[in-house]
Chains A and B, each alone.
Chain A
């Protein structure tokens, strides 16, 4: 059974870069599937940030694209998120998830537990 675990700093200063890593166990990233980052705030609910295929092909949320970079490390079975120039509005619970991309629709079928990232000086 696939398991995902987010890791990274829980506190980031304004204007700095938020960096998170998702470690995957029970499933090889190289076996396929897309892998995604989603964040959640009380005000905006669930917000998709980005998705990546194991080959490195990425899709980014247009509203965040200028600040987001997603990468994958198949040797470590991990994928990562970097979000630059953060503000208080980037304070959220960040989730990583496995994504199935099917002809009739997409879905995130396995999620990490989530990690709270607070942007504050």
Chain B
């Protein structure tokens, strides 16, 4: 089955831009979704279908994909964006789902 690889942690200065990446073979075929999770809360979908935002998600969140790497970009990071971010997708060859290991975003 496919795996999705994320950097464990990244930091960003308040108001600056941060990019979180998700690498894996399945990314070549399927657009990952991105989830934000704050402590003690359930994950929340923030990006799907490469660059679609569910209702209520600020437009400072955007997604992109190139080759085997997908990215979630936060443009003008806010203190409220400090959270863990996970990518998720389906396996390239099987109808299974997989999540990345998560990236902890710290807003300085």
Residues in A lying within 8 Å of B, measured CB to CB: 36, 38, 45-48, 51, 59, 61-62, 95, 99-100, 102, 104-114
CB distance from B24 to the nearest CB of A (A): 12
Query: Using an 8 Å CB-CB cutoff, how does the interface string of B14-43 with A read, 1 for contact, 0 for none?
Result: 000000000000000011110100000111
What number of B residues sit within 8 Å (CB to CB) of A?
A: 28
Q: Contacts A105-B30, A105-B49, A108-B43 given; indicate if A46 touches B89 (C-beta within 8 A).
A: no
**B-side interface mostly:** loop
Contact between B97 and A51 (Cβ–Cβ < 8 Å)?
yes
Chain B's closest residue to A57 (CB) is B95
Question: Which chain A residues lie closer than 8 Å to B31 at the CB level?
Answer: 104-105
Residues on B with C-beta less than 8 A from A38 are 99
A sample of 6 cross-chain residue pairs with beta-carbon separation below 8 angstroms, ordered by A number, consists of A48-B96, A48-B98, A61-B97, A105-B33, A105-B90, A106-B30
> What 3 A-B pairs come out closest when comparing CB atoms?
A107-B33, A48-B97, A46-B99
Give complex CA distance A15, B8 in Å: 33
A109 cross-chain contacts in B, Cβ below 8 A: 45, 48, 54
With contact pairs A45-B99, A61-B96, A62-B96 given, residues A108 and B33 touching in the complex (Cβ less than 8 Å)? yes
* Known pairs A36-B97, A61-B96, A106-B33; A114 contacts B42 (CB<8 A): yes
